Every structure is written in C-alpha cells, then in structure tokens.
Amino acid sequence: MILSVLVVLVVLLDVLRLRSRASKLRVLAKGAGGHSLLTATGVRPEGSWETDADLVDLVPPDLPTVAAIDLLGSVDPAEYRTDQWARGISASQAVLVREPYVEKINTDDPTEFVAYVRRVKDHVRAQVDIAVAPGLKAGPYDLGYRAATLRQLGKRPSLWIAGSVIGYAAVVAALVTAWPWGLVAVAAYWAHPILVFAGTPLRPRDLWVPRVLRTPYLWVKTAGGKKSTAEKRQAEHLRQATPWYEQNRDKNFHEARRDNCPSCGSTDLRRWVTATDLVQRKPGRFTMDRCVRCGHVWQNPRLSEEGLGFYYRDFYDGLGETSAEAVFSGKTDPYYGRARMVEPFTKPERWLDVGSGHAHFCLGAKEVLPQTVFDGLDQGAAIEDAARLGRIEHAYRGSFKEFAGELKGRYDVISMHHYLEHVRDPWEELDIAADVLPEGGYLLIELPDPEWRLGRLFGQYWMPWFQPQHQHMMPIDNLEHALADRGLTTVAKERSKAHLCNDFTLALLLFLGNIAPRTPAPWRPERVRLRRTRSFLVWSLGIPAFFVAMALDQTVNRFLAHRSDRGNAYRLLARKS
C-alpha cells in the first residue's frame, strides 16, 4: 500500500508541474507578419500567425506525447520570454523568425531547431518566445533522434532511462505486492499524460496509446538512435584533433618541483591534494602542496605553459564549448551578489571583467547596474562571442599584461572572478591591476577558499581543487595583505555569502564520473567494453545517492557555512588609495 501511495504522489506532483506549464503556453492569433516561416520535414502549416517576437517557436497542438512531455520538462513558458538565463528550446517543428536572425539549418534533424533557437536567444537584444500555433500539423516524430535531443537539452539519456525504469519497476512492484492498491498505482501511471494535457492547448495525437506499453519501447529507442548534425561535426572535430593529442598526450608537462612557498618563501610544506583530471579525463597526475606557515596551496610541481595549453585545449572552446556554456549559465545568483557587493561603494561608469569567458557575469551584473558599461578580457574565443551577443560592449582577447597599457585609468572597477587561481603568477596579475586602476578605483576578486573544511575532507573530489587547471589557492588573509602591499585597501569581504551549497553534489558527480566509462575523446581514444551498460548501471545506482547529496548540501553544508561564516569561496573588494 505504501509503495502504491508513493507512486500516486509522484505521478500527481509531476502532473501538476507539467500541467501548469502546458496551461501557460500562449496560443498565437492568426494573421500575417514580417516573419519567415521555417518548418521541419513533414510539418504542414495551415494558415499564418502573427507575433511581436523576433523568433517564436511554434508548437503544433497535436505534438506527439513524448515530444510534448520532453518539451514541458525543459521550459517554463511563463518565464521563458523574459528570462534571459532560460536556454533556447524548441519543439523542433517550426519557427517564425525575423530577417536578421534567419539561418539555413538541416530541417531533417530536430536537434538543429534546438541549437538554432538557442543561438538566437543568446542575443541580448533578441526577443524569443514559444507558443502554440493553431492549424499547424506536426510532422512525423523520429524517435531515433530522441537521445540526441535529450543530450541537446543537457540531459543524459542513460539517466532518463534509469529513472524511467525505476518508476516502472515501482509500479510493477506495487501491483505484485498488493494488487488492489497496485491497480490504483497502475491507473495513475497510465493516466499521467491524459491528466497533463486535458484542458490545455495541447492535444497530442497519440495521447491514448497506453503508457505501460509505450514506455519500454521508448527505453529501446532512446538507448540507441541517430547522431545529430552537431554530434557529427564534433566527431569530425575529434577525428581531426586526434593526431595532435596522440603526439602530445604522453609528454611530461611538469616543471621541477618547488621546495619553498611562492607566497611567503617558507620551506615548511605539506602534501595536501593528489588528483587526476576528473572533468575531461586527460592523462596525468597532479599534486598540490600547502604552506604550513601561511596556508597558501599551489600545484607543485606546476605545469609548464605548454602543459596548460594541453589541458585547456577543448575545455572552454572547441569540443568543450557547449558544456562550458551550460555550466556558466546555470547558476546566476553569484553574478548578482558580486555586483551588489560593489553597489554601496560606487556607481561605476565603466567596468572591466578580467577572465570573463562567455561574460555571463557581465550579463547578470547589468541587471543590477543598468547604467554601467561592461567590457571583458579573456584569452579564449568566447570573449569575442560575448561581444557579438551583446553581453559586453568591447572584448579584449589576450592576456591582461598584453593590454595593460591600453587599459590604464579607463575603468572605475576591475573584477577577477575565479581567475587568479588559474594563472601561473597571481601576484603579477595583482601588480597589473593596481597599476591599471585609477586612484579611487575598485578591485573585486572572488576565489575558491582553500580553508573550507570540506575541501580537505573530500580530497580530489572537492570540485574547487579542479586539477590541473587551478594553480594557486590563496587564503583570504594572504590576498588582503598582498593587496595592501600594492596600495589597495580592503573595504568589504564576503565569505558565507559567496558560498554555493553544492559540495556534496559535485563531489558525487565527480566520483561517479570517475568510475563510469566515458565516450571516446582524442586524448582517450580507446573504447570501453560494454560502456553503455556500465554507464547505465553506475548512474542508475547514483540516482538515489544524488537525492542524499542534495539533502546534505541543503542541511549540513548550509549549516556549516552559516555557523562559521565561511564557505567554498570568498569575495574581497579593495579600493586604490
């Protein structure tokens, strides 16, 4: 009985969530507008529609059930148009688009619609919406692309299958253990899609296909499937990159080990962390030492510049660009928190963000400081995309040192968010910042906190150690003294406010990713036997563990940060005298 009640509760909660979203879908009025219509193969538009958006994704009322549920699981229509952080989404059927944003795409590949809409929505000034188009007849739904579509939406097909199998097994177990109550669970499970769409603008054409029969078929189709156009391009990129990685992956990129602290010169050192590359799984083993006297933690022996190039390649750009973009657009609260920290002290006219990447911080900070002009500096190609998308006014691609002369005295505020830990000589970067800032200017720095107690407890699985990219981890007192030596006076510090309650969850993610097989990469070309089966088993067992980890983050982790006024990161704002 208890199992049946749990099944019914889970089904009802999911129905309420999806039904709420389905009912919020706008229905377009018929009419003519100055838009181009782009349709997928087999879609039949009957009539025309008008909209004031630059692009509107058209949802056919008869969109198949699986496609409709996948869509509603990925977007809240009520917030989609106004939320600049909501990633572009598509029903992969048709779009109305104004001329400046018209592109030619492969209309046979549904994932291309998602990628296309996402590119347009990334433009700061583009208005993108999603709505039901009366009279639009859905085309054939190719389940062969479902796995690729889930990946495009940032979901793991194996996790979807695992969760679906667990839910299906719970229904079967309820029926077997107590069949009268089990029939209630079966009825709730069967009725799920009917309850979701009843009374909403959507009327899926296959709504009455029994869910208990359709679900196992979906497992089979989702487990395999076709590669998307983007995945084929990435496979070609992988093939072209393989010779370079084969030539370089066995090199020793480490310099000689240092026997004294780069911060204070002490020779009293302790081995602190030993780690591998847990994110990309590139070869190599890395160690971080801690100075007993001052607490500075750094990579020792450190990577050469050539080595850093090897490990940074295809992380933020190239093969890793899509993943990096998804990560940085996921958590927005820190962006607002950083801007609000500066707000009581100054209303800056011009702000330079060093190590800006895709400029997500600038995008969020603009909401807090709408009159401020934000520029960005980074060595990666993403900074130029950020300017093209309107997130920053001007992009400087290169090193801070390279542009120092040009930038001197131009900015009221310079920020370095999770930047100093990546550089080979953070003290030189502070010298440059102190020189570039005008008198009365502010320097805002955010860094991982090596003094956070969970960092030592989790070892290499504490995400902020992030080997091999992180070179230096500076305690807040060390940074404050270094700034004072350069004529910068600390005016504000935040520790628990900069903390993100995600240590347990990210540690579990790294742990499971370390033992689960990965897809081939140029630096890891061998194929793991039974890769899909092993991945499915590992992540299936990991699903309950993620609920535990998230609960620990919201209880134990939050309590530790609040009680100690510490966290896994800190912010420091300093003023040039």
Q: Give a yes or no: residue 325 inside a domain.
A: yes
Residue 502's CATH number = 3.40.50.150
Q: Given this model, what pLDDT does residue 159 score?
A: 82
How far is the C-alpha of 276 from the C-alpha of 333, rounded, in Å? 30
Q: Give a yes or no: residue 135 inside a domain.
A: yes
pTM value is 0.90
The last residue of a domain, from among 116, 142, 168: 142
How far is the C-alpha of 171 from the C-alpha of 187, rounded, in Å? 10
497 near 491, Cβ under 8 Å?
no
Divide the 577 residues of the chain into consecutive groups of 10 and give the mean pLDDT of each group.
Answer: 88 95 94 87 90 95 95 93 91 94 91 94 94 94 90 84 89 88 91 95 92 91 86 84 88 95 97 94 94 98 94 79 66 91 96 95 95 96 93 96 96 97 97 97 98 95 96 98 98 96 95 77 67 75 90 96 95 96
Supply the range of the domain harboring residue 490: 318-576
Q: Give a yes or no: residue 185 inside a domain.
A: no
| CA 378-447-265 angle, 5° bins | 100
Q: Give a yes or no: residue 5 inside a domain.
A: no
How far is the C-alpha of 298 from the C-alpha of 295, rounded, in Å? 10
Q: Given this model, what pLDDT does residue 123 score?
A: 94
How far is the C-alpha of 324 from the C-alpha of 337, rounded, in Å? 21
Q: Given this model, what pLDDT does residue 493 score?
A: 97
The last residue of a domain, from among 89, 116, 142: 142
Count of structural domains, the chain: 2
CB atoms within 10 A of CB 263: 22
Q: Give a yes or no: residue 393 inside a domain.
A: yes
Q: Give a yes or no: residue 404 inside a domain.
A: yes
Q: Given this model, what pLDDT does residue 316 score?
A: 78
167 near 64, Cβ under 8 Å?
no
* Residue 248 dihedral angles phi and psi, to the nearest 5°: -115, -15
How far is the C-alpha of 430 from the C-alpha of 411, rounded, in Å? 15
Of the candidates 428, 404, 2, the residue with the CA atom closest to the CA atom of residue 182: 2
Which tokens hold the place of 360?
């997500």
Helices (H), 40-178: 65-72, 77-80, 110-121, 146-152, 157-177
Q: Given this model, what pLDDT does residue 235 score?
A: 82
Q: Give a yes or no: residue 149 inside a domain.
A: no
The last residue of a domain, from among 79, 114, 142: 142
The conformational region for residue 530 under phi > 0 = left, psi -120 to 50 = alpha, else beta, is left
Please report where in the chains the tokens 């199998």 appear, as a residue.
165
Q: Give a yes or no: residue 401 inside a domain.
A: yes
Which tokens hold the place of 417?
């968010």
* Burial label, 13 (beta-carbon count in 10 A; 0-12, 13-18, 19+): exposed
